[in-house]
Structure 1
């Protein structure tokens, strides 16, 4: 639930990826239009709403208001499409013709960090372009978000992400700008709220708000300053990471998992490079680990982000991966990930920090220190810390000296046991190995106790 990396002042970065359902190419085009930020710090956001347009209908293009779950929307030269020719998630999507609009008749007061939506052409229609506009004065005047139009040219739903970064009261209007009578479909309109900048140039980069990805703290004091290239704070909306340009992989990744994080979204499998890394940085390709004997091992796992297409697809960016021994990834780590989700299913919420360190692991083809022609480091160890809380509010204040904390540190080898409990350790041990401080937002007296506790692996 965070903001993407931002490159240069008032710059717009356009990513267009072809999307086929296989392991190395995306299942849908993914567009990201990001304004720029060159200062330190990060942004804290949570999802304001994800409107799927399922709760109401409209069968004519004539201008009219329709009330959906999120509120009242104006559909002008637009209707609610339910036919087989409408590209949609579920049974409804918005179909727009000519220069029609889809606009909110209401404001959100949480601001917006990013806005995402699914889009496609309707049936066999030709291409059309559209734009997103914002209003901070109740709809009296609007300003375009960014300067680029998005062109819909495929019948397969794609994801467009607009970076907004506006606090306070705001509403949005989508405008179809070209294509004449060609029609487009819009679905899963999502606003991620903007909670303000934190950390500043000091690199704190942390929010203590409930359900935010850095609630536990910024382990390495990473900053969103490209000169800090081996400890670069990169906010992916659905997880936050410290990226290491020299290793071409994360130092650590931090995220939250609650009941709203989990849904029925299929695994995207659209591994791909990330063009939103700073200009000139190496973009690890989807095929970087091919033939190496190492898996593309997720930090933030696909299974923890199944609420929407956009959330799941974000986990398949290659800067969320490390070269991981297949047995470690597919069994030991998969079992630990599933255990974390089982806690959420049972009524808990969890905060997770995962990372890696060292050089040299053993995959299915033997040992290696790097892959991708020496460009990506194979870590020697992969670790994770999970803080477990019963569902509730004011999460940080509910962490006590008896809160369950699971710390696991595994060697990156293929002969590893599938039983993750064999590798339980303490937070302090991981901190010693990495040099990080993993629970800095927790009061010191409580943190000291938790750092030295060793979980049983059973919750008892």
Structure 2
């Protein structure tokens, strides 16, 4: 079983993230019976993971318990250690009835996202829970978004709540249905509004030029976070940024950074799941949407590029990071290209990556198709990637020059292609001509023009 981290994750950058698109419900007074009334002045200034491995609480009666991250109030909840508790490690929180897990302290750096693992306890039936946030020291709370997560499996699954709120915050998890059925909660992670493991972006349609940010090179399609722009909708997933196409059910492009801090020892989570934070009324592509189609659930931002934390790896398994990809393309040609990118990082470089797809119609193991999932997801005809390589250092944008190495690859989405990705090397300009995007909009015009026409030598470099 994977070991869990119990220490704070260091804050690595100062970023500005897009505002949350889902409305919050009206604040409600906190029930004093559910929150400890002692002074709560502790402030956490770093993003952290709470794994519930420290502290002990064996009864359901409301009480405070000191955990690695600080003091929490557990009401109708305890720290479970039995074989029926679903957990990573030896402990997790267990909640029943309408119990709550409440922080008795604030995180001072706000929150971009909050993630956690959840499952039903033992053989209990399903239950649901919500996440609530307070910006006034616990005096009142508002619900994060409008989603309610239902736990129905005995296997731990990940839930991600988009918060995108600055300032001092604390959170409360509320069990909302299921009666005496119990839920296990583990690996409660707050990603700071001012940081993200792998970077973030500025709001609107812009991009941050700070080092190690996911949209450093620019916003290729001028995507925005307006729902009126449904086929070019900007989503900051903390660990990567994408332009999502609602009508195609796939991203237009995904952009991310990979450096030495992005790579660690976290195992692949295989937690394929729908993105429940999409705007209300949008179709949510599910983990089974590609089943029987002959196409893989092909990552844009790869799982292996995000192995520093559990939350980072799990984020890559959101279905809006996937495309229907021919198996041999995904498992061989593309996997080889992804692995080569990571060897560049371990050799002392950092890379900025943009990947996307275009067109309609590919050929998988079951033959050709233009759509899957009853027409909800378009199968692209071509899959492309651009990698910008610079040595480790600071002031990254200014260090990208006309001599910087740029790898551009464009493959057909078919099952009979070569496993050698270098056979599909192209230029950035060719990809821009095919897509209509401008990939290096944050670079000076003279540098952008020079890099757009460079053709890489592949592994011979």
Provide TM-score, normalisation by structure 1: 0.75
Contact 1:306 1:312 in 2 (8 A): yes
Instruction: Specify every segment of 5 or more residues in structure 2 that has no aligned partner in the other structure, as ranges.
Output: 1-14, 27-45, 195-199
Superposed counterparts of 1:99-178, under 5 Å: 102-123=101-122, 131-137=130-136, 139=137, 141-146=139-144, 152=151, 154-174=153-173
Offset, 1:88: 1.3
Deviation string 1:431-456 (CA, Å, 9 cap, x unpaired) is 22222111222333433333333332
Aligned equivalent of 1:444: 445
Superposed counterparts of 1:376-415, under 5 Å: 376-415=377-416
2:158 counterpart SS class: strand
Aligned equivalent of 1:266: 268
Contact 2:386 2:409 in 1 (8 A): yes
Aligned equivalent of 1:72, options 70, 73, 76 = 70
Contact 2:262 2:305 in 1 (8 A): no
Aligned equivalent of 1:297: 298
Deviation string 1:259-316 (CA, Å, 9 cap, x unpaired) is 345442334163x555554455444455555555443322222333445555444434
For the structure 1 residues 342 and 51, does the alpha-carbon distance in structure 2 shift closer, same or farther, using more than 3 Å as the test? farther
Offset, 1:170: 1.8
2:418 counterpart SS class: coil
For the structure 1 residues 96 and 266, does the alpha-carbon distance in structure 2 shift closer, same or farther, using more than 3 Å as the test? same
Q: CA separation in 1, counterparts of 2:126 and 2:271?
A: 27
Aligned equivalent of 1:249: 250
Offset, 1:188: 0.9
Contact 1:257 1:304 in 2 (8 A): yes
Deviation string 1:64-109 (CA, Å, 9 cap, x unpaired) is 55251xx422344565444433321123323457776544444323
Offset, 1:401: 3.8
Contact 2:297 2:323 in 1 (8 A): yes
Contact 2:16 2:202 in 1 (8 A): no
Offset, 1:420: 0.8
RMSD: 3.8
When structure 1 is superposed on structure 2, of 84-93 and 416-425 the one drifting more is: 84-93
Contact 1:273 1:283 in 2 (8 A): yes
Higher relative contact order (CA 8 A, sep 6+): 1
For the structure 1 residues 53 and 211, does the alpha-carbon distance in structure 2 shift closer, same or farther, using more than 3 Å as the test? farther
1:319 counterpart SS class: helix
Aligned equivalent of 2:92: 93
Q: CA separation in 2, counterparts of 1:333 and 1:117?
A: 30
Q: CA separation in 1, counterparts of 2:149 and 2:373?
A: 33
Deviation string 1:300-336 (CA, Å, 9 cap, x unpaired) is 2233344555544443444333333332222101111
Aligned equivalent of 1:49: 48
Q: CA separation in 2, counterparts of 1:348 and 1:410?
A: 25
Provide TM-score, normalisation by structure 2: 0.75
Q: CA separation in 2, counterparts of 1:280 and 1:154?
A: 25
Offset, 1:385: 0.9
Q: CA separation in 1, counterparts of 2:23 and 2:130?
A: 20
When structure 1 is superposed on structure 2, of 301-310 and 207-216 the one drifting more is: 301-310
Deviation string 1:414-433 (CA, Å, 9 cap, x unpaired) is 33211112222222222222
Offset, 1:248: 3.4
Q: CA separation in 2, counterparts of 1:313 and 1:2?
A: 22
Q: CA separation in 1, counterparts of 2:450 and 2:239?
A: 29
2:242 counterpart SS class: strand
Offset, 1:128: 6.3
Aligned equivalent of 2:334: 333
